[in-house]
Amino acid sequence: MFGNRQISDISLKEGTSRLAEYSTNLRDGRNLKILDCPGLGNPHNLTWDAKVLATLKKYLDTDPELRHCIPNVVIIVGRFDDPKLTNKDGAFVRSLTAINLLNARLFDKQSCNAIILLTNYSGGKQSYRTHAKVRQKEVMDLVKDHTTFPQMPYIIYGENHGSQLDLESIHDPLFGPGCFKLGDEGNTIYPSNLIELIIKVSAGSTKGALGPDFFNKVFQSRESVFLWKSCNLPLVSSDRKRFRRAFYSIKESYKSIEHERIYENIE
């Protein structure tokens, strides 16, 4: 989003085992925070998922700003080329059910503030890209079936590697160089599609901390924005009450998926 690798390079080293907060102070004194959260949905490691969920809940409850409001934008990331993306016992569905446990602390009841970003668009089977709208509907159906999000999220595509053969590097008139046209999906250009959505979402937010003018200002000069890791949260210990509550909630949530799958097999 910011035309540099400052965040992604650090995230690869540490962001997978901790919650990392990146910040920037603009001249008007307002502060943009980006929270990089480890992945959820591991069916073989409920302890890990419970630690991530408990740590995220702790952050939301103790952050000076977010304890009184919700995030302007919540971006849920999945892999477009994941063959198990739409499997009901897959990691993505489990991650949705885990995130749903923090429904009230993350999502706006009046206006959608959630974006599902499906990365690695150019990877995997060609049939996925050929039927991208079908895949989008499948993901939307998963959200309907496995969450109680108050508003349906936006679903867009992204790409991690600009060197993929079927990506066309372009100069977007609004967002400058470094954007990529994703296949034949019309004006689906990454990362400008994500930036445009963030601005749109922030304009409709009723409880977010920042507004659309702020995000417009940030993204107009995004390549010169300096971000630094302002906070590093180690995962909550398994001997804490916060962890035990999260573990029980996730266990019950994942169990409901298993029961549903077993029932369907019987049918």
User: What percent of the chain lies above the pLDDT cut of 90?
Assistant: 32
Q: Examine residue 18 and state whether it is found in any structural domain, yes or no.
A: yes
Q: Which long-range contacts (CB under 8 A, 24 or more apart) does 174-182 make?
A: 175/219, 175/222, 176/3, 176/223, 178/3, 182/121, 182/122, 182/157, 182/158
CATH of the domain at 141: 3.40.50.300
Alpha-carbon span 201 to 208, nearest angstrom? 10
Phi first, then psi, for residue 36 (nearest 5°) are -95, 110
Q: Examine residue 115 and state whether it is found in any structural domain, yes or no.
A: yes
Predicted TM-score of the model (pTM): 0.87
Q: Examine residue 35 and state whether it is found in any structural domain, yes or no.
A: yes
Higher pLDDT: 22 or 150? It is 150
Confidence class for position 191, pLDDT limits 50, 70, 90: confident
Which pLDDT value is given to residue 146? 92
Residue 70 is given by DSSP the state B
Alpha-carbon span 91 to 84, nearest angstrom? 8
Give residue-wise pLDDT tens across range 42-101. Answer: 767 889 999 999 999 999 999 888 888 888 899 999 999 898 898 888 899 999 999 999
Amino acid letter at 62?
T
Amino acid letter at 28?
D
Count structural domains, the chain.
1
Q: Examine residue 248 and state whether it is found in any structural domain, yes or no.
A: yes
Alpha helices (runs of H) in 26-131, residue ranges in sequence order: 46-62, 91-100, 103-106, 126-130
Q: Examine residue 101 and state whether it is found in any structural domain, yes or no.
A: yes
Q: Mind giving me the DSSP string for 169-238?
A: EEEETTTEEEEEEETTSTT-EETHHHHHHHHHHHHH-SSBSS-HHHHHHHHHTGGG---EEEEEEEPPPT
Q: Examine residue 126 and state whether it is found in any structural domain, yes or no.
A: yes
Q: Examine residue 167 and state whether it is found in any structural domain, yes or no.
A: yes
Six token digits for residue 214: 């702020």
Q: Examine residue 192 and state whether it is found in any structural domain, yes or no.
A: yes
Alpha-carbon span 253 to 36, nearest angstrom? 23
User: What percent of the chain lies above the pLDDT cut of 70?
Assistant: 78
Give residue-wise pLDDT tens across range 230-264. Answer: 788 889 999 999 999 999 999 999 887 765 543 33
CB 233 within 8 A of CB 61: no
Look up the domain containing 64 and give its range.
6-266
